[in-house]
């Protein structure tokens, strides 16, 4: 068993739906006792939904821990990739849940990245109108998606359009599971870490800048700190605005353009972090339109490049297709074009007066310039 480092813990404050996030090493092995402590009934089967890329590595360990504690566990494996966030895959998991005999006191556990978390979370939200949910993220990116209770699947016309707010009972973040990530996934994950700095915390942004090498090398201490800080920013924002009435929208920095790029690439060309990396550069370029410093765009770009993230739209992406995908994005309320725009490092604002022509220009720029 790997050596154990400090366990960091923070609470997402949501009244009676508050829940803890635990970050550290060796947590998979303790899952069973945690389920017991939380009073999950042993008669009610657990459905473990695992991403196929991690099932061989970690599902056995997690299952064993739960079974040793006296739980019955059915494991469902879902293919890696955004394509699994479909109603068809959702329906298959409902079938598995029924066949495993899950009842209203059962728990659905997500083992994997954001795709599995969103998908299994929507299963937990909708199965029998809602059962318990536990997140066991195995990617860096999932430090974002595993906090805040947003769960969803995609529709062919728009991402995350079918979903719910369904908070987990807790989040178990075992740093050991991150060691198996492919380098491209690691870099993609840091896009959301950087985002949390950019929207809320200039000091943390600067710390990321100074520690990019350690982070890319997955140094346990640096990684634990970065994930803790990322989750902390996310949880503060979510605590203040659970259902995205206002503040929570700042978490969408880079996501308006980013989601459109993912859609145009059929969700299989750009990773989520890569898409929002490009989107954050686009949003930073909008800042100048509102009189904020022009250096914001270059600073944002420099930081993202340190994490070896893309900052230009790949060749062959059609501008009209990108603009059209944005029209279906749910961040447009009442047809107005809404964007999260940086004011300075560590602070953003939500602007409802962004002209489509500006966005089109920036999309063209980001396509034309060589990255």
104 counts as catalytic: no
- DSSP state string for 226-245: HHHHHHHHHHHHHHH-TT-S
328 counts as catalytic: no
Q: Which of 36, 244, 295, 308 is catalytic?
A: 244
Coil/strand/helix, residue 283: helix
Smallest separation, CB 136 to a second copy (Å)? 23
**Is residue 179 part of an annotated ligand binding site?**
no
Residue with tokens 């100074």: 210
353 binds a second copy (CB under 8 A): no
CA distances from 173 to 112, 115, 224, 357 (A): 11, 16, 9, 42
Strand 347-351 and strand 339-344: the pairing is antiparallel
13 counts as catalytic: no
Member of 40, 71, 127, 190 binding a second copy (CB under 8 A): 127
Coil/strand/helix, residue 128: coil
Smallest separation, CB 109 to a second copy (Å)? 18
196 counts as catalytic: no
Instruction: For residue 51, list its beta bridge partners.
Output: 78
**Is residue 150 part of an annotated ligand binding site?**
yes
**Is residue 115 part of an annotated ligand binding site?**
yes
Cβ burial of 217 (10 Å; 0-12, 13-18, 19+) is: exposed
70 binds a second copy (CB under 8 A): no
Mark 32-67 as b/e (b = at least 16 C-beta within 10 Å). Answer: bebbeeeebeeebbbbbbbbebbbebbbebbbebbe
Give the contact letters, 225-264, x = binds to a second copy (CB under 8 A), - = no: ------------------xx--------------------
Q: By C-alpha distance, which of 176, 174, 126, 118 is closest to 148?
A: 118
Q: Select 240 or 243, whichever has its Cβ closest to a second copy.
A: 243
Member of 11, 33, 91, 298 binding a second copy (CB under 8 A): 91
328 binds a second copy (CB under 8 A): yes
Strand 19-24 and strand 73-78: the pairing is unpaired
Smallest separation, CB 158 to a second copy (Å)? 6
The number of residues that bind a second copy (CB under 8 A) is 39
Binding-site residue numbers are: 80-85, 114-118, 138-139, 150, 159, 192, 255, 272
Q: Which residues are catalytic?
A: 129, 150, 192, 234, 244, 248, 252, 255, 259, 272
Binding interface with a second copy (CB under 8 A)? 41, 43-44, 87, 90-91, 94-95, 98-99, 101, 103-105, 125-130, 150, 152, 155-158, 161-165, 243-244, 328, 330, 332-335
């Amino acid at each position: 068993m790997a050596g154990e480092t400090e366990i960091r813990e923070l609470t997402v404050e949501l009244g009676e739906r508050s829940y803890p996030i635990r970050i550290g090493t060796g947590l998979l092995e303790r899952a069973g006792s945690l389920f017991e402590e939380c009073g999950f009934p042993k008669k009610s089967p657990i459905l473990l939904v695992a991403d196929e890329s991690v099932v061989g590595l970690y599902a056995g360990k997690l299952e064993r821990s739960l079974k040793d504690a006296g739980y019955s566990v059915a494991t469902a494996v879902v293919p890696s990739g955004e394509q699994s966030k479909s109603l068809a895959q959702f329906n298959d998991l409902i079938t598995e849940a029924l066949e495993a005999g899950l009842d209203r006191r059962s728990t659905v556990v997500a083992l994997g990245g954001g795709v599995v978390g969103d998908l299994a979370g929507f299963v937990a939200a909708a199965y029998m109108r809602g059962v318990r949910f536990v997140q066991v993220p195995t990617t860096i990116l999932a430090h974002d998606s595993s906090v805040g209770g947003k769960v969803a699947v995609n529709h062919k016309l728009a991402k995350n359009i079918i979903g719910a707010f369904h908070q987990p009972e807790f989040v178990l973040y075992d740093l050991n599971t991150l060691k198996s990530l492919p380098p491209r996934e690691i870099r993609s994950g840091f896009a959301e870490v950087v985002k949390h700095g950019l929207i809320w915390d200039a000091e943390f942004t600067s710390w990321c800048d100074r520690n990019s090498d350690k982070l890319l090398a997955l140094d346990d201490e640096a990684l634990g700190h970065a994930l803790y800080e990322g989750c902390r920013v996310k949880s503060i924002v979510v605590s203040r605005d659970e259902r995205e009435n206002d503040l929570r929208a700042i978490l969408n920095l880079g996501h308006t353009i980013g989601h459109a790029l993912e859609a145009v690439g059929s969700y299989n060309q750009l990773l989520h972090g890569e898409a929002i990396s490009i989107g954050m550069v686009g949003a930073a370029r909008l800042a100048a339109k509102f009189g904020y410093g022009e250096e914001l765009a270059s600073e944002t770009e420099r930081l993202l490049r340190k994490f070896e993230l893309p900052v230009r739209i790949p060749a062959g992406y059609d501008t009209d297709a990108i603009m059209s995908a944005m029209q279906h994005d749910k961040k447009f309320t009442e047809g107005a074009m809404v964007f999260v725009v940086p004011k300075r490092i560590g602070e953003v604002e939500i602007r409802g007066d962004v002209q489509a022509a500006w966005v089109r220009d920036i999309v063209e720029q980001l396509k034309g310039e060589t990255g």
